[in-house]
Amino acid sequence: MAGGNWTKVEEFILISFSSLPTEIQSLLFLTFLIIYLATLMGNTLIILVTLADPMLHSPMYFFLRNLSFMEIGFNLVIVPKMLGTLLAWDRTISFLGCATQMYFSFFFGVDECFLLATMAYDRCVAICSPLHYPVIMNQRTRAKLAVASWFPGFPVATVQTTWLFSFPFCGTNKVNHFFCDSPPVLRLVCADTALFEIYAIVGTILVVMTPCLLILCSYTHIAAAILKIPSAKGKHKAFSTCSSHLLVVCLFYVSLSLTYFRPKSNNSPESKKLLSLSYTVVTPMLNPIIYSLRNNEVKNALGRTFRKALGLRNCIP
């Protein structure tokens, strides 16, 4: 990073929500702390219950456990630092720390896209081929699908983060965001980033839209299968098995696509922060709530787990 007026950047400053009054920041800190704790507890509970209850050892809940692991990882990468910036403890983040945060945010974000597509395929097989479902989605197959869902994050995060942080930075080192996301960090680069922006758009299409198209394809088959069910009760039961997943997909993909399709767009930084909050903070908290409140199997398993923990196993069937 030598030559011209370029200076070597050793740390960044996260602007976060510092433009807001102190009272509002304190209120945001309390709100996000509650959401953060609820996210960790909710997703941990989903993992423990689906592991402990034999009734939830089906492929659907195997993939749900993977989703909960991803949500916990996503939150641990982003939210603790954001909480620190809200209390003005320390808004600085080292060059390496910023790169690490960006790497893992890409890693978990990309993997979640592919996992949601895998979960859609699982629901498609369960509804369209219920008799062959146990054979198709055997232990070996679901393990392979899980590995395939976790793998894409490695190359995407490695290439994007390494490339972006190889650029020279000059002038301000203030990142106008609550974490080291690609678009706001890209604004600090003192070099021609046209090729990187093309890569970012192509990468977004591949890692966001490709799984999205696979999800649409799966739900097209699901809709066709549901329409063939003669009874309204049967249709409702079939739809209820995938409604939670469909809601999670809508929440995640809409905000993610609006944020990353235009890495240097003229959209307000504040609007992008709000969009980022939806998929980094709010959606991970809502996922366990959506899956537990809209799924009788999970609710029943939670009830059995709590009764067992309280020593009431023999009192209530």
Structure confidence by residue, pLDDT tens digits, 284-305:
888 888 877 666 677 677 777 6
Q: What's the burial of 268, exposed, middle or buried (CB within 10 Å: 0-12/13-18/19+)?
A: exposed
Q: Report DSSP letters for 24-83, one per residue.
A: HHHHHHHHHHHHHHHHHHHHHHHHHHHHH-GGG-SHHHHHHHHHHHHHHHHHHHHHHHHH
Structure confidence by residue, pLDDT tens digits, 124-180:
999 999 899 999 999 999 999 999 999 999 999 999 999 999 999 887 889 988 999
Q: Identify which has the larger pLDDT, 165 or 209.
A: 165
Q: Report DSSP letters for 224-266, one per residue.
A: HHHHT-SSHHHHHHHHHHHHHHHHHHHHHHHHHHHHHS-TT--
Q: Give the pLDDT band (50/70/90) at residue 315.
A: very low
Find the range with the poorest average confidence among 77-81, 207-211, 218-222, 308-312.
308-312
Please tell me the predicted confidence (pLDDT) of residue 240: 79
Instruction: List C-alpha distances in Å: 273 to 121, 129, 169, 183.
Output: 32, 42, 22, 11
**Does position 282 have pLDDT exceeding 50, yes or no?**
yes
**Does position 268 have pLDDT exceeding 70, yes or no?**
no
C-alpha to C-alpha distance for 139 and 62, rounded to whole angstroms: 10
C-alpha to C-alpha distance for 85 and 18, rounded to whole angstroms: 8
Mean pLDDT of the residues in the chain: 84
Write down how long the chain is.
317
Please tell me the predicted confidence (pLDDT) of residue 89: 66
Summarize the confidence of residues 31-39 as an average pLDDT: 93
Question: Residue 133 CB: number of other CB atoms within 10 A?
Answer: 17
CA dihedral 53, 58, 60, 63 (to 10 degrees): 80
Find the range with the poorest average confidence among 118-132, 177-191, 227-241.
227-241
Q: Which among 112, 257, 268, 103 is positioned nearest to 184, based on CA atoms?
A: 268
Please tell me the predicted confidence (pLDDT) of residue 317: 45
C-alpha to C-alpha distance for 114 and 214, rounded to whole angstroms: 9
Amino acid at 265: S
Q: Give the pLDDT band (50/70/90) at residue 120.
A: very high
User: Quick one: residue 130, left, alpha or beta (phi over 0 = left, psi -120 to 50 = alpha)?
Assistant: alpha
Please tell me the predicted confidence (pLDDT) of residue 311: 65
**Does position 309 have pLDDT exceeding 70, yes or no?**
no
Please tell me the predicted confidence (pLDDT) of residue 3: 43
